[in-house]
Structure 1
Amino acid sequence: MRLSRFWLLVPFLAAGGWWVWQQQHPTALEVSAASVSRGVVESSVANTRAGTVKACRRAKLSPSIGGQISVLPFAEGAHVNTGDVLLRLWNHDLQANVEAADKGVQAARSQRSASCLQAAETRRAADRASRLRQSASISVQELDKANTAAAVADATCKAAEAQITLTAAQLKAAQAQLERTVLVAPFAGVIADINGELNEYVTPSPPGIQTLPVVDLIEPGCFLASAPIDEVDAPNIKTGLPARITLDAWRGRDFPGKVTRVGSYVIDLEKQARTVEVELAFDNPADLKDLLVGYSADVDIILETRRDVLRIPTEALFDKHYVYVLTDAGKLEKRKIGVGLSNWSFTEVTEGVAEGASIVTTPGAAGVAEGVAAKAKETTDE
């Protein structure tokens, strides 16, 4: 009877022993951990939405009047020089107007020559009449008639001079109208796109009207990155600040650059955060040969840099000033620390932990709490 009672108590005794052992030897929670180390910490600002690689100069060109394309000398991808004709509209009527105006100038000059010669002759006749009147050889009426004829001839000469000015102005107006049918390159560049073919009719493309430009001209070998920065961060950005530019097309590669322009106004787009446009130049000229206009770009503008300071991974920080330290006893200790500069990767530590201390990098993970037994996860190199 006593033996049977003993066997009945065995499960309870075992459970109690297991509980006591668990209290004295709790199962350690595996946590991701990192050591407090020394290194570089930067304070930086990043773009809120994807930026874009742009050409330093880009012109989307269209003629200032509508017309039919008669000359299209270059193809897409061609290199052109400043002043090269990119497009010419049919303009025979305007050329005829220029020729007519030019002939008008020539006719006006001939008319001026004839009028002024006549004026000189009548002035000489008036002078002779004046001398004859002194000897009473002619009457006063004849002298007045000679002087009046001379005055009329002088006025006719001056009118002919004015007519030359008028016809010259008409010639300039006709030439200006003719120039509106010719599209020339404002700078040396590469033709990125042409929206039109020979004999097609094209129209101007003013801003705000959904009409494609006829020629898209890009300056080669000069690029910049343009990125929107949140209005809260914009006051801290100044021209000349260093930056890192990353491109989706070149993952894993940083392009050094610097801020060249900060927008002078805040961009207010519906349903989007208000931003300021910032432009950055690439520092290394060798990087420019790899770029294409339109690449998406992200920028990291460095506001301040501190070297050889204590730092921790930023993800280890919670509640702004706290971390979990993995003590030598295998327990988690919640500890308040002083922080300095911070970015997405690292945060500077000014007090609270020493170099080499092990801290939890996943403070929000399940089971992580003050006093919990823990151990660092083993990492394997792949």
Structure 2
Amino acid sequence: MRRIAIIVAVLAVLGLGLFWATRPKPVPVVLKEVAEGKVEATLSNTRAGTVEACLRTKLSTIIGGRIEYLGVKEGDKVKKGQLLLKLWNDDQQANAALAQAQITLSAKRVDEACIAASNAEKEAVRQSELRAKGFVSTSKEEAARTDAEVRRAACNTAKADVAQAEAKFRATRVEQGRVALYAPFDGTVAKIVGELGEYSTPSPPGVPTPPAIDLIDDSCLYVKAPMDEVDAPKIQVNQAVRITLDALPGKILPGKVRRVAPYVSAVEKQARTVDIEVDFEQPEATGKLLVGYSADVEVILAGRDKVLRVPTAAIQEGGRVLVYNADSGKLEERRIKAGLANWEYTEVVEGVQAGERIVTSLDKEGIKAGAKVTPDEKTQTKAK
């Protein structure tokens, strides 16, 4: 009997040891305490936005030709009305000189014709007085009057010739404008296509020809960002926005919506979007930004302070969360009623209480209701 008791005891110890060695081990999980904080309903752009200049123009000459004058280089600051580029136009200058000479010649003909007309009119008056006294015949008086009218008509014709010559000269000036580029505003030359002596080609509609000069005014900047077409109806002008740029990591810039595009952009193999334009609320605080920087915007639709909130990533399908029971070391499933939400936090109206801890590491294997878990203090410390 004693041997049997010893054998039973040994088997019991072995069984307990085997059970202890093969028992399910608690899964380490990352927990987040339910607490009060601020929750905002926000919308974010679907693709990266871009920093744009309020004024930007891509200049090309109306006609093609060889570049004869290039007065700027990339990066230069220019003033409104400054000559930037001019093509060879000796033929147009020659036509302009010819038109100017014609104006001078026509003006001299006006002097000649109008002086003759004035003298003829005086003679007609004199002949009329002589006829009244009976010294000349009626036919001679009429001939003098007719000659005066003809010469006055010639004077008027000469004046019309001057106007015609001046119009022709203005036309040559217009033609010269086709070969020159002037700055339409104060700005910076971003890019120049072409060198002195090269042939410059204009950019007709529908033909992807690069412009001769790309001019930007970087004193005024804004962000243009594409938003999902589903979110567009919720966005209004003057709504507050948070702007982040890859070039300024960790910096959040306040802004406001200034425009919502009145149409949907449909780009092949991309989601349909609506472009919005956002102004920097404090442009002096942004520092030096470059046109073309990538930017992200977060439109703030609404916000609430001091409400219970949980990480949005901790909410499963159907509005369920896993709450850690410290007494049993197991997870309990709760269904919550959510309020405002964004990608980071969700407001909880009911379902959990302040101080309770919920699981955020849902991607781990074995995480489900009833599972035995243990807080992963190391990971939790890093998360804080």
Task: Please give the alpha-carbon distance, in whole angstroms, between the structure 2 residues aligned to 1:266 and 1:56.
Answer: 22
Task: Please give the alpha-carbon distance, in whole angstroms, between the structure 1 residues aligned to 2:286 and 2:198.
Answer: 36
Task: Please give the alpha-carbon distance, in whole angstroms, between the structure 2 residues aligned to 1:3 and 1:356.
Answer: 56
- Measured after TM superposition, the shift of residue 210 of structure 1 is 2.0
Q: Which residue of 1 aligns with 2:135?
A: 137
- Measured after TM superposition, the shift of residue 251 of structure 1 is 2.4
Bigger Cα displacement from structure 2, 10-19 vs 372-381 = 10-19
Task: Please give the alpha-carbon distance, in whole angstroms, between the structure 2 residues aligned to 1:3 and 1:267.
Answer: 88
Task: Please give the alpha-carbon distance, in whole angstroms, between the structure 2 residues aligned to 1:113 and 1:361.
Answer: 98
Residues 223, 281 of structure 1: 8 Å contact kept: yes
Q: How does 1:344-363 map to 2 (within 5 A)?
A: 344-363=343-362
Number of aligned residues: 380
- Measured after TM superposition, the shift of residue 372 of structure 1 is 2.4
Q: Which residue of 2 aligns with 1:289?
A: 287
Per-residue CA shift, 1:310-342, capped at 9, x if unaligned?
110001111242111112322211111111111
Task: Please give the alpha-carbon distance, in whole angstroms, between the structure 1 residues aligned to 2:162 and 2:264.
Answer: 54
Q: 2:258 is paired with a residue of what secondary structure?
A: strand
Could you tell me which amino acid in structure 1 is paired with residue 34 of structure 2?
A: V
Task: Please give the alpha-carbon distance, in whole angstroms, between the structure 1 residues aligned to 2:136 and 2:263.
Answer: 85
Q: Which residue of 1 aligns with 2:371?
A: 372
Per-residue CA shift, 1:76-108, capped at 9, x if unaligned?
111111111111212222112112111212222
Bigger Cα displacement from structure 2, 225-234 vs 127-136 = 127-136
Residues 221, 289 of structure 1: 8 Å contact kept: no
Per-residue CA shift, 1:275-312, capped at 9, x if unaligned?
11111122233444331111111111111111111110
2:258 corresponds to 1:260: yes
% identity of equivalent residues: 43
Task: Please give the alpha-carbon distance, in whole angstroms, between the structure 2 residues aligned to 1:221 and 1:185.
Answer: 16
2:224 corresponds to 1:226: yes
Task: Please give the alpha-carbon distance, in whole angstroms, between the structure 2 residues aligned to 1:354 and 1:4.
Answer: 56
Could you tell me which amino acid in structure 1 is paired with residue 68 of structure 2?
A: S
2:78 corresponds to 1:80: yes
Task: Please give the alpha-carbon distance, in whole angstroms, between the structure 1 residues aligned to 2:287 and 2:58.
Answer: 23
Q: 2:287 is paired with a residue of what secondary structure?
A: helix
2:311 corresponds to 1:335: no
TM-score (norm 1): 0.91
- Measured after TM superposition, the shift of residue 142 of structure 1 is 2.4
Task: Please give the alpha-carbon distance, in whole angstroms, between the structure 2 residues aligned to 1:100 and 1:162.
Answer: 18
Gaps of 5+ in 1: none
Residues 253, 286 of structure 2: 8 Å contact kept: no
Q: How does 1:299-338 map to 2 (within 5 A)?
A: 299-329=297-327, 330-338=329-337
Gaps of 5+ in 2: none
Q: Which residue of 2 aligns with 1:200?
A: 198
Per-residue CA shift, 1:133-166, capped at 9, x if unaligned?
3344333332332222122112112212222221
- Measured after TM superposition, the shift of residue 255 of structure 1 is 2.2
Task: Please give the alpha-carbon distance, in whole angstroms, between the structure 1 residues aligned to 2:17 and 2:98.
Answer: 118
Q: 1:179 to 1:288 in 2, by over 3 A?
A: farther
Task: Please give the alpha-carbon distance, in whole angstroms, between the structure 2 residues aligned to 1:250 and 1:11.
Answer: 68
- The counterpart of 1:104, out of the listed 102, 105, 109, is 102
Residues 255, 280 of structure 2: 8 Å contact kept: yes
Per-residue CA shift, 1:237-288, capped at 9, x if unaligned?
1122221222222222222222122112211212211111111122233444
Bigger Cα displacement from structure 2, 80-89 vs 122-131 = 122-131
- Measured after TM superposition, the shift of residue 211 of structure 1 is 1.5
Q: Which residue of 2 aligns with 1:187?
A: 185
Q: 2:227 is paired with a residue of what secondary structure?
A: strand
Q: 1:269 is paired with a residue of what secondary structure?
A: coil
Q: 2:155 is paired with a residue of what secondary structure?
A: helix
- Measured after TM superposition, the shift of residue 28 of structure 1 is 2.8
Residues 40, 308 of structure 1: 8 Å contact kept: yes
Task: Give the root-mean-square deviation of aligned CA atoms.
Answer: 2.6
Could you tell me which amino acid in structure 2 is paired with residue 40 of structure 1?
A: K
Q: 1:56 is paired with a residue of what secondary structure?
A: strand
Task: Please give the alpha-carbon distance, in whole angstroms, between the structure 2 residues aligned to 1:317 and 1:5.
Answer: 55
Residues 77, 191 of structure 1: 8 Å contact kept: yes
Residues 191, 218 of structure 1: 8 Å contact kept: yes
Task: Please give the alpha-carbon distance, in whole angstroms, between the structure 2 residues aligned to 1:142 and 1:320.
Answer: 116
Could you tell me which amino acid in structure 1 is paired with residue 75 of structure 2?
A: G
- The counterpart of 2:46, out of the listed 43, 48, 51, is 48
- Measured after TM superposition, the shift of residue 358 of structure 1 is 0.6
Bigger Cα displacement from structure 2, 337-346 vs 240-249 = 240-249
